[in-house]
Structure 1
C-alpha cells in the first residue's frame, strides 16, 4: 500500500465527516498542485510525490494525478485517481492498469475539519506582498496535525502531522498554484482504459481513506 496514503490518512480522515460548523472551506470548484513527502514505518521509508488536483463539489467529482512518485529513491509509475460520487464509483489507473471500486460515502466540501482549532495568525512576505494566514491544529492522543490556510479565503497552503511516540516519522504537504473553477471538465471523464478493463474490486489506496484533503 502506498506509504503516503497510510501516513496522511490518520491526519486528514476527518475530512470525511459532515461539516456542520467547519472553521472555513475552500471554494466548491478549484484546481491546484501539491507536493507531499512522508517518512514512515519506523523512519525506514521516505516517499515524495507531486500531484495535480481537480475538485468539483457541484458535480460531485474529484481527480488526483500523482507523478514524480519516489519511495526511497525508487521511481514509481504515475497514478491517476477519479472519484465520481455522482455515479458511485472510483477509478485508479497506474502502470497501464485500471481498477474500479465503489465510491464510499458522500462527497464533502474541502473544509478545515471541526476538530482543528486556530492556534496562530501570522503572515508570509511583507509590505504590499504580505499574505495573512491562519494556522489550525488538532491533537488526538499522541498525534498532532496542522493545516495552514490564507486568512481571507481559506485557500490551503500547507499541512503536516506527526506522532510524539514516533518522532522520526512525519509528513508534510504544500499546496500551491490554486486556480478557481475547472479549466477542462473532461478531466472528470472515465479513462478509456477503465471502460474496457475495469472490474469491481477493492482498491486499498482508496479504501484506506483520503491521502490529502481533497481527493
Structure 2
C-alpha cells in the first residue's frame, strides 16, 4: 500500500516532499530548543523535558486519504493530510503546555492554522493534549515552501497514557473491549489528578524558594 509514484518524476517529487517535511521538522525543533535554552537563561527553568518528531509513513498517509475519500496521490497528500510532519513536545507541568504554546505563537515566521485544546476539553476516551497545526517556511534554492506541521504538547503523564492508549487502539483495531476502555478512562482521571497535584507541589516549592531568597537578602 503505497502512494502512487509510478514515473521517475513522481519518485523525485516524493523525495522532495519528504525532504521539505523533514526540513520543517528540523526548523521547529531547533526553534523549540532555542526557546527552551532562553527560558533556562531567564527563569532558570526548562519547560521542555524532551522533543519527539516523526514523518508519517506512506501506509498511514494512504489509509487517511482513503478514509476521507481521496485518491492516493502526492498532491492530495500535501493538500489534505495535515499531520504528515508531527512533533511532540513533552513537559513536566500543565502550566508549561500553555507557556510553550504561547512562545510558539509569538514566532513571527510561524503561522497558526488551528488549535485543538484537549486539556480543557478532553476526548471521550480520556485523551488529553494540546494540538497546534502550523506552517513554517522552508527555504529551498529556488523558492519558499510554507509547510504544515502538527505540534502536540503534553505532560509526561499524559504522554504515558496516550502511548498505552495508542497501542491498545491498534491491538484491537479501534474496537477494544468495554472493560479496557473503562479502565483507560479511569487511568486518564488518575493522570489528571496526578498532574494537578504535581503542579500544586511545584508551586509550593517555588514559593518556598522565593521566600528563602528574600531571607538571604
TM category, shorter: under 0.3
- Bigger share in helix: 2
TM-score of the superposition, structure 1-length normalised? Answer: 0.28
